[in-house]
Amino acid sequence: MGIAAAEEAGARDDGRADRRVAAAGGEADAFHTQQREIAVSVITADCVPLLLARRDGGHVAAVHAGWRGLADGIIPRVLAQLEAGDEWVAAIGPTICAACYEVSEVLALDFARRFPGIPAADLLPSHRHLNLRAIADYQLRKAGVTAIDHAGGCTCCARDASGNPVFRSYRRGDRNSQQHAGLYIVG
Ligand SMILES: [Zn+2]
């Protein structure tokens, strides 16, 4: 079984990252395949891990969407390339929540300008706190993908019964430790 994984953008994204959509292994923000038993996966530590599957099971994709990718439209571009609409389903995995994700004033204003269609209470529920999950959800719905499963909680503040962090979070201080999200077409 081949595995194609995208690296966590926060670790390498210098603003000049080449955002590609790949149909094979390598370094990219999104992978897709129509081949059986080829896994597509992404590695994240706060950013949005998005998994997509056509309802007939014939095509799957994994997308890594950090704030840059969301702003740059990685999700709409992947959906356009896949010609995805309501015949697709999506799952958004553990993502840093708005309460834990404080951004600069400039970035908050930039997102408010880029996404006028998202209610302010969803996009920026409190001052300079950006909701990445809401942006991904909005972009999916805009493309006609409305079957969206929000899996997992916040990478930064989710705790288990013992009070220990459930996920790896770059914002919380984890380095070189992330979580994988992936899927493949069963043979
Ligand atoms: Zn949180």
**Domains of the chain, with CATH numbers?**
3-183 (3.60.140.10)
Between 170 and 38, the more confident residue is 170
Say how far apart CA 96 and CA 85 lie, in whole Å. Answer: 26
Yes or no: say if 182 and 42 are a contact pair by the CB < 8 Å rule: yes
The CA 124 to ligand 1 mean position distance, Å, reads 14
The CA 107 to ligand 1 mean position distance, Å, reads 19
Say how far apart CA 129 and CA 118 lie, in whole Å. Answer: 14
Q: What is the DSSP letter of 171?
A: T
Alpha helices in 73-173 (DSSP H): 74-82, 105-114, 120-123, 132-142
The CA 96 to ligand 1 mean position distance, Å, reads 5
Q: What is the pLDDT of residue 15?
A: 41
pLDDT digit string, tens, across residues 32-71: 988 888 888 889 999 999 999 999 999 999 999 999 999 9
Q: pTM for the whole thing?
A: 0.85
pLDDT over 80 at 106, yes or no? yes
Q: What is the pLDDT of residue 176?
A: 82
pLDDT over 70 at 113, yes or no? yes
**Least confident window among 21-25, 142-146, 180-184:** 21-25
Yes or no: say if 107 and 66 are a contact pair by the CB < 8 Å rule: no
Q: What is the mean pLDDT of residues 109-119?
A: 97
